[in-house]
């Protein structure tokens, strides 16, 4: 019993850290642009396919497939910003309500485009990922833990640490944070807003893609794989606080853990019920999440 509980917790933290990456992908565009990117799940899916492409077709070792996938899908994100976001933003910048509706349409449409594009290129059936993780489980105090879960958690947390360091310490990162807090004043400091928006979409896409790559590596890649993870990642973002970086991590891990406990004590059938009940409860009673200050209107 204890052993299986331990295993559930470890796998819950691993899946939770992937939720955290997706939550972060959502939060990056929300924080910087106040827009939800509804193609986040499809950029996640691209991560899995690009990972297969880099490891199988180009023969890269898995540890190198991680940064190359992140960069490749980031570039897709940048193209996304230039083609499907900026023209609409420019034409409607003075009408925030209309802009929101149009950006929803545009990001949903981009998601459909990417999903069908993947189907066209790679087919509708699931593609197996080569076995990249050591299949012998780790023996920790007599409890056998599949090592892939530890790797997933490690890679996800490491990526978040790197991104945090970039945003806090580099000039580009500081410019992005400044633009997220006050676009006009950031522009007066010399931050080029269109470049900042490209960075935002690129980082968001890259972070989500690594999540897809990690999930792909323990299962399969298929064109619709992003939808479920997008919903869970969004739930994690709401729990932690949409727009908060720490909130994404906390929300993701909590959600993953909650799901694993439901599996351990009740039944895996109910894990989605619990996840989406949490989403509804937070939206109803604490929409700012655990780590975000409630919205204040700036005068």
Partner 1 sequence: MSLLEIRSLSVSYGRIPALRDVSLDVEEGEIVALVGANGAGKTTLLKSISGLLPRTPGSIRLEGELIDKASPANVVRAGISHVPEGRRVFPEMTIQENLEMGAYVRHREAGVGQEIDAIYERFPILGERRKAMADTLSGGEQQMLVIGRALMAKPRLLLLDEPSMGLAPKLVTAIFSIISEINGNGTTILLVEQNASKALGVSNRAYVIENGQIVMSGASKDLVSDRKIIDAYLGEAID
Residues in touch with partner 1 (CB under 8 A): 171, 174-175, 177-178, 181-182, 184-192, 299
Min dist CB 175 to partner 1, Å, is 6
Min dist CB 170 to partner 1, Å, is 10
Q: Is the separation of the CB atoms in 221 and 38 below 8 Å? A: no
Min dist CB 288 to partner 1, Å, is 15
For partner 1, give the closer residue by CB, 8 or 198.
198
- End-to-end Cα separation, the chain, in angstroms: 56
For partner 1, give the closer residue by CB, 185 or 268.
185
Q: How far apart are CA 215 and CA 39, in angstroms?
A: 17
Min dist CB 24 to partner 1, Å, is 17
For partner 1, give the closer residue by CB, 242 or 253.
242
For partner 1, give the closer residue by CB, 102 or 195.
195
For partner 1, give the closer residue by CB, 136 or 169.
169
Q: Residue 274's closest CA among 239, 243, 230?
A: 239
Min dist CB 58 to partner 1, Å, is 36
Q: Compute how many other C-beta atoms are within 10 angstroms of the C-beta atom of residue 96.
A: 9
Q: Residue 71's closest CA among 162, 179, 168?
A: 162
Min dist CB 199 to partner 1, Å, is 14
Q: In angstroms, what CA-CA distances link 262 with 1, 17, 244, 257, 266?
A: 14, 17, 26, 9, 5
Q: Which DSSP string do the residues of 47-96 spell out, in sequence order?
A: HHHHHHIIIIIS---HHHHHHHHHHHHHHHHHHHIIIIIHHHHHHHTT-H
For partner 1, give the closer residue by CB, 134 or 182.
182
Q: How far apart are CA 161 and CA 159, in angstroms?
A: 5
For partner 1, give the closer residue by CB, 114 or 248.
248
Q: In angstroms, what CA-CA distances link 291 with 12, 178, 180?
A: 21, 20, 17
Q: Residue 19's closest CA among 230, 223, 279?
A: 230
Q: Compute how many other C-beta atoms are within 10 angstroms of the C-beta atom of residue 183.
A: 16
Q: Is the separation of the CB atoms in 271 and 228 below 8 Å? A: no
Q: Is the separation of the CB atoms in 12 and 264 below 8 Å? A: no
Min dist CB 244 to partner 1, Å, is 11
For partner 1, give the closer residue by CB, 189 or 280.
189
Min dist CB 93 to partner 1, Å, is 12
């Amino acid at each position: 019993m204890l052993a299986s509980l331990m295993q559930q917790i470890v796998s819950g933290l691993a899946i939770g850290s992937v939720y955290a990456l997706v939550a972060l992908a959502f939060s990056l565009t929300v924080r910087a642009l106040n827009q939800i990117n509804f193609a986040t799940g499809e950029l996640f899916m691209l991560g899995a396919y690009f990972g297969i492409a880099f490891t199988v077709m180009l023969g890269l070792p898995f540890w190198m497939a991680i940064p190359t996938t992140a960069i490749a899908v980031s570039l897709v994100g940048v193209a996304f910003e230039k083609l499907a976001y900026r023209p609409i933003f420019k034409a409607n910048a003075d009408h925030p309500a209309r802009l929101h509706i149009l950006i929803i349409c545009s990001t949903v449409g981009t998601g459909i485009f990417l999903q069908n594009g993947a189907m066209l290129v790679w087919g509708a059936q699931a593609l197996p990922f080569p076995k990249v993780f050591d299949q012998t489980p780790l023996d920790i105090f007599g409890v056998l833990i599949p090592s892939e879960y530890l790797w997933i958690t490690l890679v996800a947390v490491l990526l978040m640490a790197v991104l945090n360091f970039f945003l806090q310490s580099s000039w580009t990162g500081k410019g992005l944070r400044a633009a997220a807090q006050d676009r006009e004043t950031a522009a007066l400091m010399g931050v080029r807003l269109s470049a900042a928006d490209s960075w935002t979409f690129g980082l968001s896409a890259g972070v989500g893609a690594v999540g897809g790559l990690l999930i792909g590596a323990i299962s399969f890649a298929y064109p619709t794989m992003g939808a479920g993870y997008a919903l869970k990642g969004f739930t994690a973002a709401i729990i932690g606080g949409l727009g908060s970086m720490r909130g994404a991590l906390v929300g993701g891990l909590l959600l993953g853990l909650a799901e694993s406990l439901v599996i351990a004590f009740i039944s895996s059938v109910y894990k989605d019920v619990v996840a989406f009940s949490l989403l509804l409860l937070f939206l109803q009673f604490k929409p700012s999440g655990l780590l975000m200050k409630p919205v204040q209107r700036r005068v």
